[in-house]
Chains A and B, each alone.
Chain A
């Protein structure tokens, strides 16, 4: 089973709101990722967690704050977002952060975020 789940599916928030996106996987994967995808563009990497520690932050603004409570869960806390942050936010996981074939990444269905 290569399932990654994300909640909520859709989120509309104002620029002063605080909200959180949630991601869960039960495949025993030790690396988890947040991506942002705008319409008609490929996904852009935001954060990588490896063994529950933040490994990569791709110069993401501090209004996005990731958290990894345990090896199965990944959250993305949102605060004071801008309308241009509206996008599809995708979570992914892979077996391990290094190596070769074990690094197939599996994506969740995404949260479609609209900032008003």
Chain B
């Protein structure tokens, strides 16, 4: 089993739709949690850090449930420009240093 698992996707949605991405992680020692987005042939860009209380940034809402080891990302009123691969990323302390553990990513395609 992978340490970070995401919906395999792809998700194809019309503009204006609400999209939910789910992610689970297996290592309870994981410390911090992030969502990155990656456009085709570009670098991953940090979208949001995910806090225990949940956090919102405009149309994006991230939630964390430590008891269930579950992370989510909700995108409301999706735009064409939201089309990308969304990576669930967990930071784990290992060997004295922090390591980012990436999920495989979920591709989102928003169409007119």
Contact = CB atoms under 8 A, between A and B. Distances in A.
B43 interface: yes
Main secondary structure of the interface of B (DSSP, over half): strand
Contacts of B96: 55, 98
B91 interface: yes
A101 B55 CA distance: 14
A95 B93 CA distance: 15
Contact of B34 (A56, A98, A104, A109): A104
**Which 7 residue pairs of A and B lie closest in terms of their CB atoms, listed nearest first?**
A42-B102, A107-B43, A97-B97, A103-B98, A100-B32, A110-B43, A109-B43
Interface of B: 31-32, 34, 41-46, 49, 87, 91, 93, 95-100, 102-105
Interface of A: 2, 41-43, 45, 48, 50, 55-56, 88, 90, 94, 97-101, 103-110, 112
